[in-house]
Chains A and B, each alone.
Chain A
Amino acid sequence: MSEQNEKSSSPVAGSGSPGEGFRVIGVPRRRVDGRAKVTGQTRFADDICLPRMAHCKLLRSPHPHARIRRMDVSRALAHPGVYLVLTGKDLPVQYGILPVSQDEQALCLDHVRHVGDPVAAVVAREELTAFEALDLIDVDYEILPTICDPEEALATPEPRIHEYGEEGNIHKLVALEFGDVEQGFAEADEIFEDTFFYQGNTHLPIEQHASVAIKDPDGKLTIWSSTQTPHYLHRALAKVLAMPPAHIRVVATPNGGGFGGKSDPFHHEIVVAKAALLLDRPVKICLTREEVFYCHRGRHPVLMKFKTGVKKDGTITGLHLRTLIDGGAYGSYGVASTYYAGALQTTTYHIPRYRYEGCRTFTNKPPCGPKRGHGTPQPRFGQEVQLDKIAERLRIDPADLRLRIVETPNTVTANFLSLGTVNLGECIRRVVEASDWKTKFRKLPEGRGVGMACSAYLTGAGLPIYWNKMPHSGVQLKFDRGGGVSVFCGATEIGQGSDDVLAGIVAEVLGIDPFDVRLFTGDTDLGPVDLGSYSSRVTLMAGNAALQAAERGKALLAEAVALKFEVPKERLRFAGKRVFDSAAPDEGVSFAEAICLAEARFGTIGTVGSYTPPKSPALYKGGGVGPSPTYSYSAAVVEVEVNPLTGWVHVRKVWMAHDIGRALNPTLVRGQVEGSVYMGLGEALMEEQEFRRLPKRLSHALVHKFPSMLEYKSPTSLDMPEVLTELIEDPDPRGPFGAKEVGQGPLLPIMPAVANAVYDAVGVRIDEVPITPEKVMKALAEKRAGREPRFGPDHFPQVHWPEALRVPPPWEGGDGNAVNEVQREKPRAAKEKVLAP
Chain B
Amino acid sequence: MATLPLESQKTAQIRFTLNGEEVDVLFAPYKTLLEVLREDLLHTGTKHGCELGECGACAVLLDGKPVLSCLVLALECAGRRVLTIEGLSADGRLHPLQDAFADLGAAQCGYCTPGILVTAKALLDRNPHPDRDQIREALSGNLCRCTGYLQIFEAVEAAIVKTSEEEKETH
> Interface on A for B, CB 8 Å cutoff?
1-2, 29-31, 33-44, 46-47, 49, 80-81, 124-129, 132, 203-208, 254-259, 288-289, 494-497, 667-668, 670-671, 674-679, 708-710, 714, 716-718, 720, 722-723
Q: Which chain B residues (107-157) contact chain A, with CB distance < 8 Å?
A: 107-114, 117, 135-137, 139-154
Judge whether B51 and A289 touch: CB under 8 Å: yes
Beyond A289-B55, A708-B54, A709-B143, 6 additional pairs, beta carbon < 8 A: A288-B51, A289-B49, A495-B110, A495-B111, A709-B55, A716-B141
B170 touches A (CB below 8 Å): no
Distance of A257 Cα from B84 Cα, bound (Å): 21
Which of A41, A132, A203, A675 lies at the interface centre, i.e. has the most chain B CB atoms within 10 A of its CB? A675
Main secondary structure of the interface of A (DSSP, over half): loop
Judge whether A38 and B149 touch: CB under 8 Å: no
B50 touches A (CB below 8 Å): yes
B88, B102, B147: the one contacting A31 at CB < 8 Å is B102
B7, B57, B107: the one contacting A126 at CB < 8 Å is B7
The 10 listed contacts between A and B (C-beta, < 8 Å) are A33-B110, A34-B101, A40-B85, A208-B48, A256-B109, A289-B50, A671-B105, A671-B148, A709-B143, A717-B139
Which residues of B are found within 8 Å of A259, using beta-carbon distances?
145
Judge whether B49 and A208 touch: CB under 8 Å: yes
Judge whether B108 and A80 touch: CB under 8 Å: no
B4, B6, B140: the one contacting A717 at CB < 8 Å is B140
Judge whether A257 and B145 touch: CB under 8 Å: yes
Judge whether B150 and A723 touch: CB under 8 Å: yes
B90 touches A (CB below 8 Å): no
Closest chain B residue, CB of each to CB of A36: B110
B78 touches A (CB below 8 Å): no
Q: How many A-B residue pairs have CB under 8 A?
A: 203
Distance of A47 Cα from B114 Cα, bound (Å): 14
Judge whether A1 and B158 touch: CB under 8 Å: yes
Which residues of A are found within 8 Å of B117, using beta-carbon distances?
38
Distance of A124 Cα from B8 Cα, bound (Å): 12
Judge whether A40 and B114 touch: CB under 8 Å: yes
Judge whether A1 and B154 touch: CB under 8 Å: yes
The smallest C-beta distance from B5 to any residue of chain A, in angstroms, reads 4
Judge whether B148 and A720 touch: CB under 8 Å: yes
Count residues on chain B whose CB falls below 8 Å from chain A CBs. Answer: 64
**Given A38-B117, A720-B148, A723-B148, is A256 in contact with B136 using a C-beta cutoff of 8 Å?**
no
Q: Which chain B residues (19-51) contact chain A, with CB distance < 8 Å?
A: 38-39, 42, 44-51
Which residues of B are found within 8 Å of A127, using beta-carbon distances?
7
Judge whether A1 and B47 touch: CB under 8 Å: no
Closest chain B residue, CB of each to CB of A207: B111
Which residues of A are found within 8 Å of B105, using beta-carbon distances?
1, 31, 667-668, 670-671
B11 touches A (CB below 8 Å): no
Which residues of A are found within 8 Å of B49, using beta-carbon distances?
206-208, 256, 289, 709
Judge whether A496 and B108 touch: CB under 8 Å: yes
Which of B5, B86, B94, B149 lies at the interface centre, i.e. has the most chain A CB atoms within 10 A of its CB? B5
A255, A288, A678: the one contacting B149 at CB < 8 Å is A678
Judge whether A206 and B55 touch: CB under 8 Å: yes
The smallest C-beta distance from B106 to any residue of chain A, in angstroms, reads 8
The 10 closest A-B pairs by CB, nearest first: A40-B45, A495-B109, A37-B110, A256-B111, A678-B148, A34-B102, A126-B7, A81-B5, A40-B85, A674-B148
Which residues of A are found within 8 Å of B149, using beta-carbon distances?
678, 717, 720
The smallest C-beta distance from B91 to any residue of chain A, in angstroms, reads 14
**Given A126-B8, A129-B7, A206-B57, is A30 in contact with B102 using a C-beta cutoff of 8 Å?**
yes
B107, B135, B145, B158: the one contacting A38 at CB < 8 Å is B107
B12 touches A (CB below 8 Å): no
Which residues of B are found within 8 Å of A40, using beta-carbon distances?
44-47, 84-86, 113-114
> Interface on B for A, CB 8 Å cutoff?
2-8, 38-39, 42, 44-52, 54-55, 57, 84-86, 88-89, 94, 98-99, 101-105, 107-114, 117, 135-137, 139-154, 158
Which residues of B are found within 8 Å of A44, using beta-carbon distances?
47, 111
Judge whether B6 and A128 touch: CB under 8 Å: yes
Judge whether B51 and A254 touch: CB under 8 Å: no
Judge whether B5 and A128 touch: CB under 8 Å: yes
Which residues of A are found within 8 Å of B38, using beta-carbon distances?
47
Which residues of B are found within 8 Å of A497, using beta-carbon distances?
108
Main secondary structure of the interface of B (DSSP, over half): loop
The smallest C-beta distance from B152 to any residue of chain A, in angstroms, reads 7
Judge whether B8 and A675 touch: CB under 8 Å: no
Distance of A288 Cα from B2 Cα, bound (Å): 30
Judge whether B154 and A49 touch: CB under 8 Å: no
Which residues of A are found within 8 Å of B114, using beta-carbon distances?
40
A206, A496, A667, A677: the one contacting B111 at CB < 8 Å is A206
Which residues of A are found within 8 Å of B142, using beta-carbon distances?
717
Closest chain B residue, CB of each to CB of A709: B54
Which of B148, B149, B158 lies at the interface centre, i.e. has the most chain A CB atoms within 10 A of its CB? B148
**Given A496-B108, A717-B149, is A38 in contact with B101 using a C-beta cutoff of 8 Å?**
yes
**Given A81-B5, A667-B104, is A206 in contact with B112 using a C-beta cutoff of 8 Å?**
yes
Judge whether B94 and A39 touch: CB under 8 Å: yes
Which residues of B are found within 8 Å of A204, using beta-carbon distances?
145
Judge whether A720 and B150 touch: CB under 8 Å: yes
Distance of A41 Cα from B110 Cα, bound (Å): 9
**Given A289-B52, A670-B151, A718-B136, is A675 in contact with B146 using a C-beta cutoff of 8 Å?**
yes
Distance of A206 Cα from B107 Cα, bound (Å): 13
The smallest C-beta distance from B77 to any residue of chain A, in angstroms, reads 19
Judge whether B5 and A126 touch: CB under 8 Å: yes
The smallest C-beta distance from B161 to any residue of chain A, in angstroms, reads 11
**Given A207-B47, A289-B49, is A39 in contact with B3 using a C-beta cutoff of 8 Å?**
no
Judge whether B104 and A675 touch: CB under 8 Å: no
Which residues of B are found within 8 Å of A38, using beta-carbon distances?
94, 98-99, 101-102, 107, 110, 113, 117
Judge whether A254 and B110 touch: CB under 8 Å: yes
Judge whether A256 and B5 touch: CB under 8 Å: no
The smallest C-beta distance from A1 to any residue of chain B, in angstroms, reads 5
Which residues of A are found within 8 Å of B148, using beta-carbon distances?
671, 674-679, 720, 723
Which residues of B are found within 8 Å of A494, using beta-carbon distances?
109
Which residues of A are found within 8 Å of B39, using beta-carbon distances?
49
Closest chain A residue, CB of each to CB of B31: A128
Which residues of A are found within 8 Å of B145, using beta-carbon distances?
203-206, 257, 259, 675, 679, 714
**Given A37-B102, A49-B42, is A126 in contact with B6 using a C-beta cutoff of 8 Å?**
yes
Closest chain A residue, CB of each to CB of B111: A256
Distance of A50 Cα from B114 Cα, bound (Å): 23
Distance of A289 Cα from B56 Cα, bound (Å): 13
**Given A128-B6, A709-B50, A720-B149, is A675 in contact with B103 using a C-beta cutoff of 8 Å?**
no
B44, B46, B137, B147: the one contacting A674 at CB < 8 Å is B147
The smallest C-beta distance from A123 to any residue of chain B, in angstroms, reads 13
Judge whether A718 and B137 touch: CB under 8 Å: yes
Distance of A39 Cα from B86 Cα, bound (Å): 6
Which of A1, A43, A722 lies at the interface centre, i.e. has the most chain B CB atoms within 10 A of its CB? A1
Judge whether B94 and A35 touch: CB under 8 Å: yes
Closest chain B residue, CB of each to CB of A654: B148
Distance of A59 Cα from B53 Cα, bound (Å): 24
Which residues of B are found within 8 Å of A289, using beta-carbon distances?
49-52, 54-55
Judge whether A1 and B110 touch: CB under 8 Å: no
Judge whether A717 and B146 touch: CB under 8 Å: no
Which residues of A are found within 8 Å of B146, using beta-carbon distances?
257, 495, 671, 675
A41, A258, A678, A723: the one contacting B45 at CB < 8 Å is A41
Which residues of A are found within 8 Å of B102, using beta-carbon distances?
30-31, 34-35, 37-38
Closest chain B residue, CB of each to CB of A256: B111
